[in-house]
A and B are shown apart, each in its own frame.
Chain A
Amino acid sequence: MITFEVCVDSGELAVREALGLVLANLETLSLDVEELATVELVLAEALNNVVEHAYPVTKPGNSIKIHCSQKVTGLHFAITDQGYSMPNGQTPLGLPQNVEVDPFDMPEGGFGWFLIKDLAKDVTYRRVENTNQLALRIAVAIH
Protein backbone atom coordinates (compact mmCIF):
# COMPACT_ATOMS: atom_id res chain seq x y z
CA MET A 1 0.00 0.00 0.00
CA ILE A 2 1.56 3.24 -1.11
CA THR A 3 1.14 6.79 0.17
CA PHE A 4 2.62 9.91 -1.35
CA GLU A 5 2.15 13.63 -1.64
CA VAL A 6 3.07 16.04 -4.41
CA CYS A 7 2.92 19.81 -4.35
CA VAL A 8 3.03 22.27 -7.27
CA ASP A 9 2.67 26.02 -7.70
CA SER A 10 -0.49 27.04 -9.55
CA GLY A 11 -0.08 28.31 -13.10
CA GLU A 12 -0.61 27.46 -16.71
CA LEU A 13 1.48 24.29 -16.67
CA ALA A 14 0.77 23.30 -13.06
CA VAL A 15 -1.71 20.58 -13.98
CA ARG A 16 0.67 18.86 -16.40
CA GLU A 17 3.43 19.03 -13.83
CA ALA A 18 1.24 17.60 -11.06
CA LEU A 19 -0.11 14.81 -13.27
CA GLY A 20 3.43 13.85 -14.28
CA LEU A 21 4.48 13.62 -10.63
CA VAL A 22 1.40 11.63 -9.59
CA LEU A 23 1.70 9.17 -12.47
CA ALA A 24 5.42 8.68 -11.71
CA ASN A 25 4.51 7.84 -8.11
CA LEU A 26 1.87 5.36 -9.30
CA GLU A 27 4.28 3.47 -11.59
CA THR A 28 5.09 0.99 -8.85
CA LEU A 29 1.44 -0.19 -8.87
CA SER A 30 1.59 -1.31 -12.54
CA LEU A 31 -1.96 -0.11 -13.23
CA ASP A 32 -3.32 -0.91 -16.68
CA VAL A 33 -3.66 1.86 -19.27
CA GLU A 34 -7.38 2.26 -18.72
CA GLU A 35 -6.97 2.68 -14.96
CA LEU A 36 -4.19 5.20 -15.48
CA ALA A 37 -6.35 7.09 -17.99
CA THR A 38 -9.13 7.33 -15.41
CA VAL A 39 -6.79 8.62 -12.70
CA GLU A 40 -5.23 11.14 -15.07
CA LEU A 41 -8.58 12.44 -16.35
CA VAL A 42 -10.21 12.81 -12.92
CA LEU A 43 -7.20 14.58 -11.44
CA ALA A 44 -6.81 16.79 -14.53
CA GLU A 45 -10.40 17.99 -14.21
CA ALA A 46 -10.13 18.59 -10.46
CA LEU A 47 -6.81 20.42 -10.83
CA ASN A 48 -8.00 22.49 -13.81
CA ASN A 49 -10.77 23.78 -11.57
CA VAL A 50 -8.27 24.82 -8.90
CA VAL A 51 -6.06 26.64 -11.42
CA GLU A 52 -8.99 28.35 -13.14
CA HIS A 53 -11.32 29.16 -10.23
CA ALA A 54 -9.50 28.91 -6.88
CA TYR A 55 -6.40 30.72 -8.17
CA PRO A 56 -7.66 32.81 -11.13
CA VAL A 57 -4.62 35.08 -10.85
CA THR A 58 -1.21 33.41 -10.74
CA LYS A 59 0.71 34.61 -7.69
CA PRO A 60 3.73 33.24 -5.85
CA GLY A 61 2.74 30.94 -3.02
CA ASN A 62 -0.41 29.64 -4.73
CA SER A 63 0.31 26.01 -4.02
CA ILE A 64 -1.73 22.92 -4.78
CA LYS A 65 -1.13 19.78 -2.77
CA ILE A 66 -2.19 16.31 -3.83
CA HIS A 67 -2.11 13.54 -1.27
CA CYS A 68 -2.68 9.95 -2.34
CA SER A 69 -3.10 6.88 -0.20
CA GLN A 70 -3.82 3.43 -1.47
CA LYS A 71 -6.37 1.52 0.58
CA VAL A 72 -8.37 -1.68 0.09
CA THR A 73 -11.10 0.39 -1.60
CA GLY A 74 -8.79 2.04 -4.13
CA LEU A 75 -6.74 5.19 -4.44
CA HIS A 76 -7.86 7.96 -2.10
CA PHE A 77 -6.88 11.44 -3.25
CA ALA A 78 -7.07 14.69 -1.30
CA ILE A 79 -6.44 17.92 -3.19
CA THR A 80 -5.93 21.05 -1.12
CA ASP A 81 -5.38 24.69 -2.01
CA GLN A 82 -5.67 28.08 -0.31
CA GLY A 83 -7.56 29.80 -3.10
CA TYR A 84 -11.13 31.02 -3.44
CA SER A 85 -13.89 28.83 -2.06
CA MET A 86 -16.30 26.91 -4.30
CA PRO A 87 -19.45 28.94 -5.01
CA ASN A 88 -22.05 28.22 -2.28
CA GLY A 89 -19.48 26.07 -0.48
CA GLN A 90 -20.21 23.01 -2.57
CA THR A 91 -19.15 21.34 -5.80
CA PRO A 92 -21.32 21.76 -8.89
CA LEU A 93 -23.77 18.89 -9.43
CA GLY A 94 -21.97 17.63 -12.50
CA LEU A 95 -25.05 16.53 -14.38
CA PRO A 96 -24.56 15.18 -17.91
CA GLN A 97 -24.82 17.81 -20.62
CA ASN A 98 -27.60 17.53 -23.17
CA VAL A 99 -25.89 16.96 -26.51
CA GLU A 100 -29.06 16.37 -28.53
CA VAL A 101 -29.23 20.01 -29.57
CA ASP A 102 -28.48 22.10 -32.64
CA PRO A 103 -24.76 22.40 -33.38
CA PHE A 104 -24.74 26.08 -32.46
CA ASP A 105 -26.19 25.29 -29.03
CA MET A 106 -23.72 22.49 -28.33
CA PRO A 107 -22.12 22.98 -24.90
CA GLU A 108 -18.40 23.79 -24.93
CA GLY A 109 -17.98 23.47 -21.19
CA GLY A 110 -19.52 22.00 -18.07
CA PHE A 111 -18.16 18.52 -18.69
CA GLY A 112 -15.48 18.63 -16.00
CA TRP A 113 -17.57 17.94 -12.91
CA PHE A 114 -19.63 15.38 -14.78
CA LEU A 115 -16.45 13.44 -15.59
CA ILE A 116 -15.19 13.70 -12.01
CA LYS A 117 -18.46 12.49 -10.51
CA ASP A 118 -18.92 9.79 -13.14
CA LEU A 119 -15.46 8.29 -12.72
CA ALA A 120 -14.66 8.93 -9.05
CA LYS A 121 -16.46 7.81 -5.89
CA ASP A 122 -17.07 9.52 -2.55
CA VAL A 123 -16.41 13.03 -3.89
CA THR A 124 -16.51 15.42 -0.93
CA TYR A 125 -15.61 19.08 -0.64
CA ARG A 126 -14.93 20.99 2.54
CA ARG A 127 -13.81 24.52 3.19
CA VAL A 128 -11.73 24.59 6.36
CA GLU A 129 -10.59 28.08 7.33
CA ASN A 130 -8.75 29.32 4.22
CA THR A 131 -8.31 25.90 2.64
CA ASN A 132 -10.29 24.02 0.00
CA GLN A 133 -10.23 20.27 0.58
CA LEU A 134 -11.49 18.03 -2.20
CA ALA A 135 -11.43 14.32 -1.47
CA LEU A 136 -12.26 11.56 -3.88
CA ARG A 137 -11.65 7.87 -4.42
CA ILE A 138 -10.82 6.08 -7.63
CA ALA A 139 -11.60 2.39 -7.48
CA VAL A 140 -8.36 1.06 -8.97
CA ALA A 141 -5.39 -0.77 -7.46
CA ILE A 142 -7.78 -2.71 -5.20
CA HIS A 143 -6.28 -5.68 -3.39
Chain B
Amino acid sequence: MEVSANNEGKMCVVSVLEARIDAAVALAFKDAMRQSTDGGEADVVLDLGQVTFIDSSGLGAIVATMKFLAPDRKLILAGLTPAVDKVFKLTRMDTVFSVFNTLEQALAKQSS
Protein backbone atom coordinates (compact mmCIF):
# COMPACT_ATOMS: atom_id res chain seq x y z
CA MET B 1 0.00 0.00 0.00
CA GLU B 2 1.66 3.19 -1.15
CA VAL B 3 1.43 6.25 1.06
CA SER B 4 3.72 9.26 1.42
CA ALA B 5 4.28 11.10 4.69
CA ASN B 6 5.50 14.70 5.00
CA ASN B 7 5.67 17.26 7.74
CA GLU B 8 3.74 20.44 6.95
CA GLY B 9 4.22 22.96 9.72
CA LYS B 10 2.95 21.36 12.91
CA MET B 11 1.12 18.62 11.03
CA CYS B 12 2.07 15.26 9.62
CA VAL B 13 0.42 14.80 6.21
CA VAL B 14 -0.03 11.26 4.94
CA SER B 15 -1.22 11.00 1.33
CA VAL B 16 -2.67 7.78 -0.02
CA LEU B 17 -1.17 7.18 -3.46
CA GLU B 18 -3.61 4.46 -4.54
CA ALA B 19 -7.17 4.68 -5.86
CA ARG B 20 -8.79 2.11 -3.59
CA ILE B 21 -8.87 1.41 0.14
CA ASP B 22 -10.80 -1.84 0.08
CA ALA B 23 -10.79 -5.26 1.76
CA ALA B 24 -7.82 -6.36 -0.36
CA VAL B 25 -5.54 -3.67 1.10
CA ALA B 26 -7.18 -2.75 4.43
CA LEU B 27 -4.51 -4.53 6.51
CA ALA B 28 -1.68 -3.14 4.40
CA PHE B 29 -3.20 0.33 4.74
CA LYS B 30 -3.29 0.00 8.55
CA ASP B 31 0.35 -1.13 8.58
CA ALA B 32 1.43 1.69 6.27
CA MET B 33 -0.36 4.27 8.45
CA ARG B 34 1.26 2.87 11.59
CA GLN B 35 4.74 2.88 10.05
CA SER B 36 4.47 6.37 8.60
CA THR B 37 3.17 7.95 11.82
CA ASP B 38 4.90 5.87 14.50
CA GLY B 39 7.04 7.77 16.98
CA GLY B 40 5.81 11.24 16.01
CA GLU B 41 3.78 13.64 18.11
CA ALA B 42 1.99 15.72 15.46
CA ASP B 43 -1.65 15.42 14.54
CA VAL B 44 -2.10 13.59 11.25
CA VAL B 45 -3.92 14.79 8.15
CA LEU B 46 -4.91 11.89 5.93
CA ASP B 47 -5.05 13.15 2.35
CA LEU B 48 -7.60 11.02 0.48
CA GLY B 49 -7.61 13.14 -2.68
CA GLN B 50 -6.48 10.27 -4.90
CA VAL B 51 -8.84 7.69 -3.41
CA THR B 52 -11.90 7.06 -5.56
CA PHE B 53 -13.30 4.02 -3.74
CA ILE B 54 -13.55 2.88 -0.14
CA ASP B 55 -15.55 0.01 1.34
CA SER B 56 -16.44 -0.85 4.95
CA SER B 57 -13.10 -2.63 5.44
CA GLY B 58 -11.24 0.51 4.35
CA LEU B 59 -13.43 2.58 6.64
CA GLY B 60 -12.61 0.23 9.52
CA ALA B 61 -8.89 0.61 8.78
CA ILE B 62 -9.19 4.40 9.02
CA VAL B 63 -11.03 4.04 12.35
CA ALA B 64 -8.24 1.72 13.56
CA THR B 65 -5.69 4.38 12.60
CA MET B 66 -7.64 6.99 14.56
CA LYS B 67 -7.53 4.70 17.63
CA PHE B 68 -3.82 4.04 17.17
CA LEU B 69 -3.12 7.80 17.28
CA ALA B 70 -5.53 8.56 20.16
CA PRO B 71 -5.65 10.00 22.70
CA ASP B 72 -2.73 12.41 22.12
CA ARG B 73 -2.87 12.78 18.35
CA LYS B 74 -5.83 13.56 16.11
CA LEU B 75 -6.58 12.04 12.71
CA ILE B 76 -8.01 14.64 10.33
CA LEU B 77 -9.39 13.74 6.91
CA ALA B 78 -8.97 15.81 3.75
CA GLY B 79 -9.84 15.63 0.07
CA LEU B 80 -12.72 13.16 0.18
CA THR B 81 -13.90 12.36 -3.36
CA PRO B 82 -17.69 11.91 -3.80
CA ALA B 83 -17.75 8.10 -3.46
CA VAL B 84 -15.60 8.23 -0.33
CA ASP B 85 -17.62 11.08 1.15
CA LYS B 86 -20.79 9.04 0.61
CA VAL B 87 -19.51 6.13 2.75
CA PHE B 88 -18.53 8.48 5.58
CA LYS B 89 -21.93 10.22 5.50
CA LEU B 90 -24.00 7.00 5.31
CA THR B 91 -22.21 5.47 8.29
CA ARG B 92 -22.22 8.84 10.12
CA MET B 93 -18.44 8.57 10.46
CA ASP B 94 -18.34 12.13 9.08
CA THR B 95 -19.45 13.17 12.58
CA VAL B 96 -16.52 11.36 14.21
CA PHE B 97 -13.67 12.91 12.21
CA SER B 98 -12.81 16.48 11.29
CA VAL B 99 -13.33 16.43 7.53
CA PHE B 100 -12.03 19.04 5.07
CA ASN B 101 -12.73 19.34 1.35
CA THR B 102 -9.09 19.95 0.51
CA LEU B 103 -5.69 19.41 2.09
CA GLU B 104 -5.07 23.17 1.92
CA GLN B 105 -8.22 23.86 3.97
CA ALA B 106 -7.22 21.27 6.56
CA LEU B 107 -3.74 22.78 6.96
CA ALA B 108 -5.06 26.36 7.06
CA LYS B 109 -7.56 25.46 9.76
CA GLN B 110 -4.99 23.65 11.88
CA SER B 111 -2.41 26.44 11.72
CA SER B 112 -4.88 29.22 12.57
Contacts and interface: CB of A to CB of B under 8 A. Distances in A.
Contacts of B67: 103-104, 106, 108
B interface SS class: helix
A48 B23 contact: yes
- Which 4 residue pairs spanning A and B have beta carbons closest together? A111-B56, A108-B60, A37-B83, A112-B56
A115 B23 contact: no
Contacts of A119: 90
B22 interface: yes
Given A103-B66, A111-B56, A111-B60, A44 B93 contact: no
Given A99-B91, A99-B93, A45 B56 contact: yes
Nearest to B93: A99
Interface in A93-121: 96-97, 99-100, 103-104, 106-112, 114-115, 118-119
Interface in A104-143: 104, 106-112, 114-115, 118-119
Interface string A10-23: 00110110000000
B3 interface: no
What is the predominant secondary structure among interface residues of chain A facing chain B? helix
A66 to B, nearest CB: 16
A52 interface: yes
Interface residues of A, number: 31
Nearest to A100: B95
Contacts of B23: 15, 44, 48, 51-52
Interface string B72-112: 00000000001100110011110110000000000000000
Contact of A16 (B24, B87, B92): B24
Nearest to B91: A111
